[in-house]
Amino acid sequence: MPRNSSDPADAPTSAPEGVGVQFLTVPDELAGQRIDNFLQARLKGVPRSRIYRILRKGEVRVNKGRVKAEYRLKGGDVVRVPPIRVSEAPEKPVAGEQLRRVLESAILFDEGGLLVVNKPAGLAVHGGSGVRLGLIEALRQMYPQSPFMELVHRLDRDTSGAILVARKRSVLLHVQAELRAGRMGKSYLALASGKWPRSQKLVEAPLRKNTLKSGERIVVVDGEGKPSRTRFQVLERFPAGTLVAAEPITGRTHQIRVHAQFVGCPLAGDPKYTPDEVNSAFRELGLKRLFLHSAEVRCTLPDGRAVSVAAPLPEELEVVLQGLRGA
């Protein structure tokens, strides 16, 4: 049975008053991106089904020719975008001057299409789930000249330190491939409660995400979880805890935190995996946050250049260590 001609799915795409055909030149940073994803990013509010339809009908042209949705763009391609009504997007939150100043001073490396940022604790890496503005949204506002800006990996909101951000798609794909292959290095500093066992240099415990009745999401050690491995090295011992270096071999959510808990030495200041009485004792020493810091990241750029960037320990964590040494 034919559809009614008034079906909105058959309606021609139309533009708000004053908006017509657009011709967009693809920057080199976006080379390799699929045309459907390129359009989705620029036609906010337009259903993906509509984007596939205008591609199928040939209303979108690349260098004057028809292309399929899986076509991968090249730098310099000229994309014809037909008039199409875009629903009004909600007003985006704006990064304030204080946050901009903090992030400007936190840039540790900016070369070859790769940013390394010393993320402050308390800042989410991206918006969502009640967070209006995250690190990546703030960076996109700070670098309006960069058409591409994506997280290479993530850090928990309460974790500080070095995080990689790609300013070129080719860099993102290259470094993420290194990450999957285990060639990218990440070193953390963590304060574990109690006495870390001398023999516990490698923790191999499968991890599974779990949702409690309250709706809180936690990670647990479970035989049916994903294989997870973390190397630990004791750096300094105190009566109340142990400063350790942690290198995650796999990249599971909350991996270092849960593996430390599994050993019996949960991280100081961890509100999710450490008992309240343990955290209370560390609060008396001045610790007001999770003691977990991304201290160093190592990778290579697509041209083969090796990159190694260290992020200094925040002053509020250094003060805690000084207090432990004087105890």
Catalytic residue among 10, 28, 110, 156: 156
- Cα separation, 247 vs 186, whole angstroms: 6
Query: What CA–CA distances, in Å, run from 309 to 14, 202, 223?
Result: 49, 24, 35
Complete DSSP assignment for 314-325: PHHHHHHHHHHH
Query: What CA–CA distances, in Å, run from 264 to 66, 193, 197, 203, 274?
Result: 61, 8, 9, 12, 10
In the block, residue with structure tokens 């730098």: 75
Residues near 88 by Cβ (< 8 Å), separated by ≥ 6? 45
Question: What H or E segment, with its residue span, contains residue 248?
Answer: strand 241-248
Sign, CA dihedral 230-233-235-237, equals positive
- Where do the H-state alpha helices sit in the chain? 35-42, 48-56, 97-105, 135-142, 169-181, 255-263, 276-283, 315-326
Q: Is 10 a catalytic residue?
A: no
Say how many Å lie between the first and final Cα of the chain, rounded: 82
DSSP single-letter state for residue 262: H
Question: What H or E segment, with its residue span, contains residue 107?
Answer: strand 107-111
- With residues binned 3-state (H G I as helix, E B as strand, rest as coil), the percentages for the chain, rounded to 5, are 25, 30, 45
Beta carbons of 79 and 30 less than 8 angstroms apart: no
Does residue 146 sit in helix, strand or coil? coil
Q: Which residue numbers are catalytic? A: 156
